[in-house]
Amino acid sequence: MKKALITGIRGQDGAYLAKLLLDMGYEVYGADRRSGDSGNWRLKELGIDKYVKIEYMDLLELTNIRHVIAKVKPDEVYNLAAQSFVGVSFEQPILTADIDAMGVLRLLEAIRDIKPDTKFYQASTSEMFGKAREVPQNENTPFHPRSPYATAKVFAHYTTQNYREAYNMYACSGILFNHESELRGLEFVTRKITDAVAKIKYGIQDRLVLGNLDSKRDWGYAPEYVYGMYLMLQQEKPDNYVLATNETHSVREFVEKAFLVAGFEIEWIGENENAKGLDKKTGKVLIEVLKEFYRPAEVDLLIGDYTKAKQKLGWEPKTKFDEIVEIMTLKDLERQSKNI
């Protein structure tokens, strides 16, 4: 039985990856920084909270990491833990760097010292492309990070690559474009939208307040992306791979589609920060824009080229934009109808 240690087990990707590996017969250990039982909702929704072995581990604490690696002796480590919200990284840049950059170094050092044959996956991100130098972006596109989150992730990405080259460790980096799901955190724009649409439908919320409606993302479906992470660790040699859909859509399109799933047709008036979205039938304002939700530096357009992953891993995205919006909105409508 292979042993996998997943950091960030209680996050969106951690939960889906744990389910996948358990289904494959792995013994799954989850590193948890003691967020309490309320943080367990994703593992519960997937019905796996009883099957994951929790180890208390914080990426800020080196001795703690070393103890867990020595105790579990994992065959594979998937490092998904991060302060993953770009917006907050502008408010907490030092904490973000400590977790997302130095935390990865701590983990790699512990593995190198204690169990260097461990296969390691690092959760890199399309945010590293930032002010993108080319369209679409692939594994060789230069980085131009636009947030403290992205600069920390660039450090972690190069550190992972360096441990591969310097110490011959099996260390992979998955450069993943945005991936969403019913288990996405409420702070991210997609789930913020689908949750609000459902609450507006059931009369619990009046309107949805957003930031930049015109930024564009390459949104894929999270369960398919965690399968790509697993595939990266099953190859003969470690490498970097982009996972994406090669399609891009704006926040505005996501809003329109999600409201449509709930039976509202949106009509826009005004531009940029003065934009408003009205219910075409009643004229009621359902969407407003607030400067507060804009970022000091924005990533305007992301679109990924996953050719390498397709050729070398046989990985391809299946669920595309319309279906993702529908799955997420229907799930939030169901949650509201059951008052969950």
Contacting residues toward ligand NAP, per CB under 6 A = 7-8, 10-14, 31, 33, 35, 39, 58-60, 80-84, 99, 123, 125, 176, 178-179, 185
Q: How far is the CB of 198 from ligand NAP (least distance, A)?
A: 20
Cα separation of 121 and 103, whole Å? 14
Could you tell me the sign of the dihedral formed by the alpha carbons of 136, 139, 141, 145, in that order?
positive
Contact 70, 29 (CB under 8 A): no
Q: Is 251 in the site for ligand GDD (CB under 6 A)?
A: yes
Q: Is 189 in the site for ligand GDD (CB under 6 A)?
A: yes
Nearer to ligand GDD, 154 or 231 (CB): 154
Q: Is 90 in the site for ligand GDD (CB under 6 A)?
A: no
Position among 177, 241, 306, 321 found at the interface with ligand GDD (CB under 6 A):
177
Please, which of residues 262-301 interact with ligand GDD by CB under 6 A? 293, 295, 298
For ligand GDD, which stretch binds (CB under 6 A), given 23-31, 44-52, 106-114, 206-214?
A: 206-214
Q: How far is the CB of 242 from ligand GDD (least distance, A)?
A: 11
The CA distances from residue 44 to 39, 51, 187, 306, 328, in Å, are 10, 10, 20, 32, 18
Cα separation of 158 and 156, whole Å? 6
Find the radius of gyration of the CA atoms of the chain: 20
Nearer to ligand GDD, 28 or 302 (CB): 302
Nearer to ligand GDD, 104 or 302 (CB): 302
Q: How far is the CB of 206 from ligand NAP (least distance, A)?
A: 27
Nearer to ligand NAP, 82 or 261 (CB): 82
Q: Tally Cβ neighbours within 10 Å of residue 34.
A: 9
Nearer to ligand NAP, 64 or 329 (CB): 64
Name the active-site residue from 7, 96, 118, 125.
125
Active site annotation includes 78: no
Contact 202, 336 (CB under 8 A): yes
Nearer to ligand NAP, 99 or 132 (CB): 99
For ligand GDD, which stretch binds (CB under 6 A), given 194-202, 205-213, 241-249, 330-338?
A: 205-213
Q: Is 87 in the site for ligand GDD (CB under 6 A)?
A: yes
Name the active-site residue from 55, 127, 182, 224.
127
The one of ligand NAP, ligand GDD, none whose footprint includes residue 139, by CB under 5 to 8 A per kind, is none
Cα separation of 97 and 89, whole Å? 9
Q: How far is the CB of 179 from ligand NAP (least distance, A)?
A: 5
Sorted by sequence, the CB contacts under 8 Å of residue 61 that are 6+ apart come out as none
The one of ligand NAP, ligand GDD, none whose footprint includes residue 210, by CB under 5 to 8 A per kind, is ligand GDD
Residues forming a β-bridge with 78:
6, 121
Closest CA relative to residue 255, chosen from 269, 273, 267, 270 = 267
Q: Is 127 in the site for ligand GDD (CB under 6 A)?
A: yes
Residues forming a β-bridge with 216:
250, 301
Cα separation of 228 and 132, whole Å? 23
Active site annotation includes 149: yes
Backbone angles phi, psi at 51, to 5 degrees: -100, -15
Q: How far is the CB of 114 from ligand GDD (least distance, A)?
A: 28
The CA distances from residue 59 to 9, 31, 43, 110, 257, in Å, are 13, 9, 21, 11, 38
Q: Which amino acids are annotated catalytic?
A: 125, 127, 149
